[in-house]
């Protein structure tokens, strides 16, 4: 099965230019190091997520494993900023991962499905899968583990996963233990 590991969103929480130095002083668990990154980084434990607030009033939220937690972290930042305003909330990326429970013959998969699978073991140990109907990428490993990224809607994550399961059925095998 696939489970969500990260939800990334953007939104706008202020129409005014924000003084990042002052904001970082007034918001708990935040830091601002303009020589490294020109945004206030706010880390939440509840919900578990990180927001990055830019002086333009734009916000990026990452690290949440649930859509609702992602949105709640954005709303919480707007509340702490005192704006109680949030617009243009958009999911930019959902990352899911899981394990097929068996090993994957990536060489056979890549040879059989050249049009949708790229695998160059000399460059990287994983194979990339791109289905033409969904704008997402699957990253597969011989261990059976996989990552799906580039999805913007949660149902598309599960659709991609189901397509992956169907594609991989002939290429799954039990790991051999030679006792060495």
Successive 10-residue mean pLDDT values, the chain, 180 residues: 97 94 94 96 97 97 98 96 92 98 97 97 96 94 98 96 97 77
CA distance 180 to 178: 6
Amino acid 91: pLDDT = 98
CA distance 85 to 135: 31
Amino acid 175: pLDDT = 80
Amino acid 178: pLDDT = 58
My answer on whether omega of the bond before 47 falls inside 30° of 0, hence cis, is yes
Compute how many other C-beta atoms are within 10 angstroms of the C-beta atom of residue 150.
17
Amino acid 177: pLDDT = 63
Indicate the length of the chain as a whole number.
180
- In DSSP notation, 15-74 reads SSPP-HHHHHHHSTTEEEETTTEEEEEEEEETTEEEEEE-TTSEEEEEEESSHHHHHHHH
Q: Are 105 and 113 in contact (CB under 8 A)?
A: no
């Amino acid at each position: 099965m696939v489970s969500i590991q990260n939800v990334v969103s953007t939104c706008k929480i202020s129409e005014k230019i924000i003084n990042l130095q002052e904001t970082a002083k007034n918001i708990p668990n935040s830091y601002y190091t303009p020589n490294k990154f020109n945004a206030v980084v706010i880390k939440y434990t509840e919900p578990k997520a990180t927001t990055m607030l830019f002086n333009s009033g734009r916000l990026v939220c990452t690290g949440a494993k649930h859509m609702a937690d992602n949105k709640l972290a954005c709303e919480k930042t707007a509340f702490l900023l005192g704006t109680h305003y949030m617009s243009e909330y958009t999911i930019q990326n959902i990352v899911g991962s899981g394990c097929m429970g068996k090993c994957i013959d990536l060489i056979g998969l890549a040879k059989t499905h050249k049009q949708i699978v790229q695998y160059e073991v000399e460059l990287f140990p994983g194979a990339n899968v791109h289905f033409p109907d969904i704008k997402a990428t699957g990253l597969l490993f011989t261990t059976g583990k996989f990552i799906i990224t580039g999805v913007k809607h949660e149902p598309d994550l599960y659709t991609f996963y189901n397509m992956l399961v169907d594609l991989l059925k002939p290429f799954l095998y039990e790991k051999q233990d030679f006792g060495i």
